A and B are shown apart, each in its own frame.
Chain A
């Protein structure tokens, strides 16, 4: 689930600022990937320079180094993977282009092979049209932003619109491209963002911006973006993520009205669910956990890293929950390991009475065909256990999940326009 960002300046006095603005845009997307950070900038002489670091955006961002990257067109990405080879850190270089992407190209050779195709098309007089045709031929769920040596930026979205992509103006000075609209706020844009349509591609130069769209397919927007992946500041395809999260909390309140004294939302994403549940039921919401460190743990690359991250974040505050009936609302349950440990601690050392678990998403029973890291199926608790068994395993009085139908209603799109592959095991391309 990387985050990608691009900037095309229309005025040449942006030459010293482009790289740093791309950097700040990526800081705005760091919730989408904390392991690598890379920027490529094309200068006015047709040279492209690339800055790559295996680290989280706000550590990788180095004002002094980025100052030296001059140019009026830049792209960048943050990813969830530490690359052992530096050249594999996005933006990758292939033929005549640098490219960043989110999601997965379901073709032999993946991103490199797509970039190779794109590089060939660039020479054509209408590269956006050629890119749209390439996208039509390339199955998968992906977004991309490519940079040519002459400073042309080409960006686009897969024909099903699985991954989100938006674009907007910043004053009169430049055009911005981002996986999520939250990054536009970070660099100061005030205009309403535009959303790239499924199968739509654009080419941008200093003096032109042209769009083209390939033949429409069944739309399959990633539903997990709304539940967990995206920042609540963002909108995806016109729909504010914060609204979806409020509706998820309200739906849980309607479906699973528990007799409880306090509602806790965990992790941070689920706090919006908890507040909406509380507003709906009148049961107070409280901050029941204290966070020692702040990075996002579920997107860490290894299991042990994830657990270290979670445990440093999830310190139950006994004084908030002791002698109380508690509802804990989580955004998702994957393996159930962190929930299990947390619940155990709450019961054994915090004197909690009843403990109910509600989950703001359907059961995760399959991997993601488009590259969002989900463990193999035999590690997924909801794939392997019935509800009552899950309660027993994690130590809850009850558990409650949303259905995919509930989730579609919360998002406000028909179920067949969403990708719910991780909740059903059915690949959208099989439809």
Chain B
């Protein structure tokens, strides 16, 4: 068995490591944009190249003579890598272009949910130019989220806390800039509808991953990523600074009921897009959910791949003794027989901390090109695993590439205990030129968990109220002078 893995981040390192363990002992080949030291260590062969160029992936797959391809990053899905591979009869664990549209276009996602009356809908408006978006935000002093209409690696999303009317003029220029940023990022994707404004909802976020072969959905443990750069839910938005999962399939602040809501939303949405694309989904799909005040569980966006770092949690939690290995899962997904497979997860809690050079995410120019030292033996002695992200093997040394450099994983019976292991292990990562590294030491802390539990409870109370009033998807407003206004969402 030979497999080609496409991608070069910590997520792909975790995918590669998971593919290699288990009874089938496949040979692993990699196509990567930068020389990921973790993947180089695992691979039986690798090639450097553009992971988003379908022809390059096809060539690599053909040259290595692999049985199938596993896609890591969403950009490869958007570019139609799985589509081209299929044309050449190379099976692929990864969503085809039209199916990955649920991730690529945030407007498409909101519209399909609206059309199919899928639960988890929120108010949204779409603008094709920034002036209209600014005018709307100025006339409606509410808490809003500005988003580029498409997925650009989570970039360009801005929260405008606009409910305080006295702050209206002080936030004028920020709204302008938010609209401009969203427009700029959407232009990259050549979308006509550039700016998406959504009502800002508040609550704990969690990611619900599912393995999907087009017919069967197998849920993976829920994971919570932490997007803020600094401790205490503070700092600029990052790709994710750390994630927690478990113990078991749920999170301490997410109930069975929330999880089943998330499942219904993901299954129905994927069902709708399969109908529209007249094609079957293959790979991993995830709802990046929020248990929001007054709206229950809402997908903020969809992933047509594993989240990063969330994928590191779920892949490492696979229970190989009781169920299938990840390679067996990929094979079964490709041949559409996931329903015959026993997939089990360990009854553990897991914690991942991402470590990034200072400068990330605002000043990547400062965060890149620092030599990094990792004492892998010491990390493993502390009971942890390390996954390399934005790090490249150059000559004799490893250097940072400007984003999250490594991710450290640990599991234990409780989140807090896994966190303690990670906290010990991160000392073994440093930059040898003296530049600073940072991480979120509060990810997995009791304090932060307590806070999320409380926020989740607030969200349930206000959601129950709207549900009982029938205003979950039907907002009733009174505007002085205009009278009653009803929004159906």
Contact = CB atoms under 8 A, between A and B. Distances in A.
A170 B233 CA distance: 9
A207 B364 CA distance: 10
B235 A169 contact: yes
A167 B164 contact: no
A342 interface: no
Contact of A14 (B159, B174, B202, B438): B174
A403 B360 CA distance: 52
Nearest to A126: B436
Interface stretch (A31-39, A110-118, A188-196): A188-196
A171 B234 CA distance: 8
B183 interface: no
B12 interface: no
Nearest to B161: A188
B213 interface: no
A167 B234 contact: yes
Interface string A163-198: 000011111110100000000001111111010000
Contacts of B170: 17, 20-21, 24
Given A172-B159, A173-B159, A207-B363, A188 B167 contact: yes
Interface residues of B, number: 43
Given A188-B161, A188-B167, A17 B235 contact: no
A169 B233 contact: yes
B248 interface: no
Contacts of B233: 168-169, 191-192
Size range of the chain A interface in the assembly? 20 to 34
B362 A206 contact: yes
Interface in A13-53: 13-17, 20-21, 24
Most chain B Cβ neighbours within 10 Å, of A173, A189, A194, A207: A207
A11 interface: yes
Contact of A172 (B177, B235, B359): B235
A24 B438 CA distance: 31
Interface in B208-255: 227-237
Interface string B133-171: 000000000000000000000000111111110110111
B173 interface: yes
A84 to B, nearest CB: 32
Contacts of A187: 164, 167
A194 B159 CA distance: 20
Contacts, number: 105
Interface string B348-360: 0000000000111
Nearest to B145: A171
B55 interface: no
A309 to B, nearest CB: 26
Residue in A10, A14, A15, A208 whose Cβ sees the most chain B Cβ within 10 Å: A208
Contact of A10 (B157, B174, B231, B236): B236
B234 A169 contact: yes
B489 interface: no
B90 interface: no
Contact of A209 (B163, B171, B235): B235
Interface in A180-237: 186-192, 194, 206-211
A206 B363 contact: yes
B431 interface: no
A209 B230 contact: yes
A175 B234 CA distance: 6
A63 interface: yes
Given A20-B170, A63-B169, A173-B158, A207 B234 contact: no
24 contacts: A11-B174, A11-B236, A13-B176, A14-B174, A16-B172, A16-B173, A24-B166, A24-B167, A168-B232, A169-B228, A169-B234, A170-B161, A172-B159, A172-B235, A173-B158, A173-B236, A188-B167, A190-B161, A191-B232, A207-B236, A207-B363, A207-B366, A209-B234, A210-B438
Given A24-B166, A207-B360, 20 more contacts: A10-B362, A11-B174, A11-B362, A13-B178, A16-B172, A16-B173, A21-B170, A168-B234, A172-B235, A175-B235, A186-B164, A188-B162, A191-B234, A192-B233, A206-B362, A207-B362, A208-B358, A208-B359, A209-B229, A209-B231
Interface of A: 10-11, 13-17, 20-21, 24, 63, 125, 167-173, 175, 186-192, 194, 206-211
User: Across chains A and B, which 8 residue pairs bring their CB atoms closest together, nearest first?
Assistant: A169-B234, A13-B177, A171-B159, A188-B161, A194-B232, A20-B170, A10-B236, A172-B237
